[in-house]
Structure 1
Amino acid sequence: MKNNKFLVFLFLLISAIGFSQVYTNKVVGKKNAALLDSLKVVEYPYALPIWGEKATQKGYQLPYSAGLSVNYFWQESDLTIKNLEVGFNNGPMYNLDQIIRFNSAVASGYAVNVRPDVWLFPFLNVYGIFGKTRMSTTIDAGVWVPDADNNWSQVTSFKSKADFEGTTFGLGITPTIGVGGGWFALDMNVAWTDINSLDKPAMSFVFGPRLGKTFKLNKQDSNIAVWAGGFRVHLKSGTNGSLALSDVLPLDGAQAKVDQGLATVNDKQAQVDNWWSGLSNAEQAKPSNKAKYETANRALETAGNLLNGIDGALSTAETSTVQYSLEKAPKDMWNFVLGSQYQFNRHFMLRAECGFLASRTQFMTSLQYRFGL
């Protein structure tokens, strides 16, 4: 299990970004009186959004009702893992939560996606997500066992990095409202990412509230928007799959590490057994000593099963497989985002957004084209 391919889940979110910055704006102010008057009398020429004509007659300026954007997204994030179980060559699965400690688990990568969208109602945008993702995960972890005094020490450690590719499909909505160039949006989407190492496509949910302001420029229909908000990602926690052993751990030097780890486990087991046999019957009956003995035996047995499983799999390394299951989550579900968009005209927009604070850093940029439908 000395690899982190099972950490691939975090990259569901990097294919699921789909924030639409355009919005329906309530025209206000004396300087916009002429525009307001024209909206009330001009016939709305498009089928979407529903109630589009009624909205314009009430003084709302609508964006073009359909759009297509190309998005690039990069992110790096810390992960947390629990309920980790591992088996070899379809054999017994062993829960490793007691003995595996992750010093760090970091995911990074990028995605490119295409997002078609339509304004179904004047204040509701609906969109789809179709994307490709490339990512890598890096972990630093160790196998830990106790001795007779219940002092835990590291038997062996491992670091690894793996690269993946995935294909994503998703759907999203953005309820939004604007008044006088100020606006509020609640972007949310659900996406499924298909990765070969997973038994089935994995699901993610992204929620992003944003509050912004648009500033007109001298050029007609040109403006700059700025915003701040949050970014929250929820990932379906259960993941299981199967990987080739050669994809899970570097084979060079693996046997020596396993042999050293087994020798250490055997030495620790001998220490625990000697300590226990040296206790009197009364001391063995004490709940504290009994709990210490059972905890040590359970951990040492699990570590031995893990290392023996790797040892057996190494004998047929080219054909051996590793089965796994786990529950996972980003270390922090929320982070803070700042963004800006330059609108060339009502058809073309270019935007960028960065996220930071907490344990996730991200950057997104996109080019959007809009048209009437």
Structure 2
Amino acid sequence: MRNTFGLVLLCALGQSAIAQDEPRTLPFLGEEARKRGYELPEPFGVGLVYYKLNRDIEVSDVRVGRNGTVPSSVSQYADLGSTSDVDNINVKVDVWLLPFLNVYGIVGKIWNKSDTNIDVTLPPLLPNGPTRRFQTTVPTSIEGTVKGLGVTLAGGYKSFFGALDVNWAKADIGFDERLKAVVSSARAGWHGTVDGRPLRVWVNATYWDTFAVAKGHVADPDGGTLNFEVEQGPKYPKTYGVGFQYSPRKWFDLAVDTGTDGHGGWYVAIVPVIRF
């Protein structure tokens, strides 16, 4: 999901001052920062966030019930695992409340394609008989909406900066309840200029707390309904990566961020933003 989900524009603390327009109300304390020679970004931003995420999903338990009965675990018979291929596009609106504090909201669409591997082992039909086992792969494709809020703390010293970001999001992808996610990241890097405009590069570490219980119901082929609960989450919730942000104009920023979980999972984020 993502993700959405935590890439926010970083304050250009520590840069040489560039001519500023008349003072703005936001960010608060912005005038104090300018007096010390810091260039601040425009306080408001509207942009797009595109995420591509591919990773392994671990299914820790599956519970099934019939016609409203309390679901019971079937995990003793089935071993499940999944791979997830996610595309996510969000509209993001952000504002710098303080020179070091940014808050933002996102709303968008999510598309998830998964291949679920099912390995079922059943008891023998006859005493002392062989166990029964079969394996299959079930492809699924679902889509839905995502909404979220986030906050970023950023600061710097000379040519170096650091930032902490936390994003809370909910995704509605057709289950009985919305899936919740908290994505936290830390960045550290260098900032300078190219053709007199800000450039930042960084390394990052992210923790994807997208563990959730997917609850739903489907029609029972024998009549009635089957209700299910699936406990699932990323098999490797930590990713490590690199990224950059360039501001060719004072009113426009472009950021690209990419990373890997070290086990074949990866993501890439592309974030163009107009600032005013």
Judge same fold: TM > 0.5, yes or no.
Answer: yes
Aligned residue for 2:249, secondary structure, equals coil
Q: Which whole-Å CA distance do the structure 2 matches of 1:53 and 1:224 have between them?
A: 23
Structure 2 residue 249 is the aligned partner of structure 1 residue 345: yes
> CA 1:150 to 1:225, structure 2 compared with 1: closer, same or farther past 3 Å?
farther
Aligned to 2:44: 66
- CA separation of 1:59 and 1:154: change in aligned 2, threshold 3 A: farther
Contiguous gaps of at least 5 residues in structure 1: 1-10, 245-312
Matches of 1:180 and 1:149, distance apart in 2 = 76
Richer in strand (by share) = 2
Aligned with 2:34: secondary structure? helix
Question: What is the one-letter code of the residue matched to 1:22?
Answer: L
Match 1:225 to one of 176, 200, 203: 200
Q: What CA distance in whole angstroms lies between the structure 1 residues aligned with 2:36 and 2:70?
A: 67
Aligned to 2:266: 361
SS state of the match for residue 26, structure 1?
coil
Rounded to whole Å, the distance in 1 between the matches of 2:226 and 2:88 is: 28
Query: Does 2:28 align with 1:53?
Result: no
Alpha-carbon separation, structure 2, partners of 1:358 and 1:69: 30
Distance 2:208 2:151 in 1: 15
Q: Is 1:19 the equivalent of 2:12?
A: no
* Matching of residue 314 in structure 1 with residue 218 in structure 2: no
Q: Could you say which structure has the greater relative contact order, defined with CA pairs below 8 angstroms and 6 or more residues apart?
A: 1
CA distance in 1, matches of 2:212, 2:127: 36
Structure 1 residue identity aligned to 2:261: L
Q: Which residue does the alignment assign to 1:7?
A: none
Q: Which residue of 2 aligns with 1:186?
A: 164
Alignment of 1:276-315 (within 5 A): 313-315=220-222
* Change beyond 3 A, Cα 1:153–1:63: farther
Aligned to 2:104: 127
Counterpart of 1:210 in structure 2: which amino acid?
Answer: R
2:113 equivalent to 1:136: yes
Corresponding residue for 2:182? 205
Q: Deviations over 1:209-238 (max 9, x none)?
A: 0112123112x3x24321111111112533
Aligned to 1:47, what secondary structure does the other structure show?
A: coil
1:74-126 CA distances to partner (integer Å, 9 max, x unpaired)? Answer: 11111111231013444563311211112x41111201001100001110000
Instruction: Name the CA shift for 1:193/1:357 in 2 (closer, same or farther; >3 Å).
Output: closer
Kept in 2, the 8 Å contact 1:145–1:152? The answer is: no
Tell me the SS of whatever aligns to 1:365: strand
Match of 1:324 among 202, 212, 228: 228
Are positions 1:195 and 2:173 aligned together? Answer: yes
Q: Which residue of 1 aligns with 2:134?
A: 156
Identify which range, 105-114 or 143-152, moves more after superposition. Answer: 143-152
Question: By how many angstroms is 1:315 displaced?
Answer: 4.3
2: CA distance, partners of 1:215 / 1:188: 25
CA gap 1:22/1:150 in 2 versus in 1, 3 angstroms: farther
Q: 238, 247, 251: which is aligned to 2:213? A: 238
Paired amino acid for 1:355: G
Letter in 2 for 1:229: N
- Shift in CA distance, 174/368, structure 1 to aligned 2, threshold 3 Å: same
Q: Quote the sequence identity (%).
A: 26
Report the equivalent of 1:82. Answer: 60
1:370 counterpart = 2:275: yes
Specify whether residues 153 and 76 from structure 1 end up closer, same or farther in structure 2 by C-alpha distance, changes over 3 A only.
farther
Decide whether aligned partners of structure 1 residues 346 and 179 sit closer, same or farther in structure 2, where only a CA change above 3 A counts. Answer: farther
Distance 2:242 2:226 in 1: 42
| AA at the equivalent of 2:269 | M
Give the Å deviation of 1:21.
2.9
Preserved contact between residue 255 and residue 272 of structure 2 (Cα < 8 Å): yes
Secondary structure of the structure 2 residue equivalent to 1:61: coil
Distance across 1 between alignment mates of 2:132 and 2:54: 28
Relative to structure 1, the CA distance from residue 126 to residue 159 in structure 2 (aligned partners, 3 Å threshold; closer, same or farther) is same
Contiguous gaps of at least 5 residues in structure 2: none
